[in-house]
A and B are shown apart, each in its own frame.
Chain A
């Protein structure tokens, strides 16, 4: 059964053209995360939502925004994609935030190509 779903798996956009990536979850988890993973690098956390509370990482560019309209869905908006934003974008969830034993569940990722 799919638990964390990301659509589409591949997204092509043009330089400067806004793009939205989507993530949904069937786990009813409180926390949803967005990570960016560039080629041959480790995933890097961009931000997360604990319920409706948005938490941005200090070094996440302003070009990246997120929305969480309900528990199940979370969106990543890139307002003006640059060539350097081409990457795999990973969505993850966890039941709670502050548990040191909490497991994160990742989706398959959306690979973004910027032309």
Chain B
């Protein structure tokens, strides 16, 4: 399984943009990049996913490097509710497995 590398923690102030990086240098051509987040005392929730092109949805944006060896999850205006652990996960092959890495713990300050 292709691996991802994320910083252990990041900090942001409320209403500022947040850029959460993820390195996946061993990504294969058919691997999708998924992001989930886990709020305190809750189960993970889906945030966004992409293959090659940048993606936007109501929660976030996903910027994927041209060589696909890294990606960045962008929260345009962080709120206190965005404080969570963010997981970057590669999905490939014929499996629906989610293999979680250590993730990035995001703290948001008022």
Q: How far is the CA of A38 from the CA of B42 in the complex (A)?
A: 13
User: Which residues of A (60-74) have their CB < 8 Å from a CB of B?
Assistant: none
Identity of the chain B residue whose Cβ is nearest the Cβ of A30 in the assembled complex? B96
Interface majority SS (helix, strand, loop, mixed), chain B: loop
Say yes or no: A103-B46 contact (C-beta < 8 A), given A42-B87, A42-B103.
yes
User: Total interface residues on A, using CB and 8 Å?
Assistant: 25
- Please give, as numbers and ranges, the residues of chain A lying within 8 Å of B101 by CB-CB distance: 42
> Nearest Cβ distance between residue B102 and chain A, in whole angstroms?
6
User: Total interface residues on B, using CB and 8 Å?
Assistant: 24
B98 is contacted by which of A99, A101, A104, A109 (Cβ under 8 Å)?
A104
Interface majority SS (helix, strand, loop, mixed), chain A: loop
The yes or no answer to A98 lying at the interface (CB within 8 A) is: yes
> Nearest Cβ distance between residue B90 and chain A, in whole angstroms?
10
- Please give, as numbers and ranges, the residues of chain B lying within 8 Å of A103 by CB-CB distance: 46, 49
Q: How far is the CA of A96 from the CA of B94 in the complex (A)?
A: 11
* A residues with CB within 8 A of B: 4, 31, 42-45, 48, 90-92, 94, 96-109
